[in-house]
Amino acid sequence: MTTTGQHYRVLRTRLLDLAATLTPDQQTTDVPALPAWTVRDTYAHLAGISADIVAAKVGDPFDTAWTAGHVADRRERTLSEICDEWSTTAPATETILDDPAGRRAVFAVIDVFHHTHDIHGALGIAGARDTPETVFVATLMTKLKNPAWTKAGHPPIRLTTGSGSWQLGEPAAEPAAALTTTDYELTRILIGRRSRTQMLAAGWDGDPEPIVDLLPVYQAPVTDLTA
């Protein structure tokens, strides 16, 4: 069975391999999913997350000042230097991700998964979507989403992909709406990489209108994203 740390390593390795091929123009390409950042900035953030996990300084992923600090602290470094730092800290990060005591850091594997596809989208590169990492992140995100959904008393909904089916909310209740989609699209909806229009058109049975705005972890984009 592949561990959380191993999934992180696969994703990190793919991004590091990609970084080695990028031209200066590609490095400074804006990332539509992350309007304030370029491709290079996104790598700086990922290196910063890893460094903070190893230093036991895990911040709040919703704190924009914390994440912006990763970019600001590495403003004068080249992409190669940023990748060297990430390569240095990542083995320890992967060990922490596999330690039950490191559960607070589990967002890092979700983060690196989504930023991989954010970068691919910015560069117009077709990233691999049907992968074990996609299934892992889809499963992890639905499990993390369910307790807060149930506690808030949101209407129960059913989420089905090629790898599994999950119910958010009361497990025995009839779902108010049911979504059938791919693991990849489910992850992008849940993180906040699909517009409201895209979410409503995603493949629902029942009326998703009352609940789609509750699904994304981060605010949904105003315009459609394709990656």
Q: Which of 123, 141, 172 is at the close of a domain?
A: 123
Q: Are residues 116 and 139 in the same domain?
A: no
Q: Are residues 116 and 138 in the same domain?
A: no
Count how many domains the chain has: 2
Q: Are residues 111 and 145 in the same domain?
A: no
pTM higher than 0.85: yes
Q: Is the Cα dihedral 30, 18, 227, 69 positive or negative?
A: negative
- 227: in domain: no
Q: State the Cα–Cα distance between residues 127 and 47, nearest whole angstrom.
A: 20
> Which secondary structure element, helix H or strand E, spans residue 205, and what is its range?
strand 204-206
- 91: in domain: yes
Q: Which of 94, 123, 152 is at the close of a domain?
A: 123
Q: Are residues 148 and 117 in the same domain?
A: no
- pLDDT given at position 166: 95
Which domain, by its residues, includes 105? 4-123
- pLDDT given at position 103: 84
- 187: in domain: yes
| Ordered per-residue pLDDT tens for the chain, 227 residues | 899 999 999 999 999 999 999 999 999 999 999 998 999 999 999 999 999 999 999 888 889 999 999 999 999 999 999 999 999 999 999 999 999 888 889 999 999 999 999 999 999 998 889 999 999 999 999 999 999 999 999 999 999 999 999 999 988 889 999 999 999 999 999 999 999 999 999 999 999 999 999 999 999 999 999 99
Q: Are residues 139 and 183 in the same domain?
A: yes
- pLDDT given at position 42: 98
Q: Are residues 37 and 61 in the same domain?
A: yes
Q: Are residues 25 and 104 in the same domain?
A: yes
Domain holding 158: CATH number?
A: 3.30.1050.10
Q: Are residues 103 and 175 in the same domain?
A: no
pLDDT tens string 8-57: 999 999 999 999 999 999 999 999 999 989 999 999 999 999 999 999 99
Are 77 and 45 contacting, i.e. CB atoms less than 8 angstroms apart?
no
